[in-house]
Amino acid sequence: QLQLVESGGGLVQPGGSLRLSCAASGVAFDYYAIGWFRQPPAKEREGVGCINSNGGDTVYADSVKGRFTISRDNAKNTVYLEMNSLKPEDTAVYYCAGVIGGDTVKSTWWLPYEYHYWGQGTQVTVSS
CB atoms within 10 A of CB 108: 10
pLDDT tens digits, one per residue of 115-124: 999 999 999 9
Q: How far apart are CA 14 and CA 34, in angstroms?
A: 27
pLDDT digits (tens, 9 = 90+) for 23-59: 999 988 899 999 999 999 999 999 999 999 999 999 9
How distant is the alpha carbon of residue 50 from its chain centre? 7
Distances (CA, A) of 119 to 35, 63, 67, 82: 11, 22, 23, 17
Position 28: which residue type?
Answer: A
Q: Which pLDDT band, with edges at 50, 70 and 90, does 21 fall under?
A: very high
DSSP letter, residue 56: S
Helices vs strands, H then E, count in the chain: 0, 11
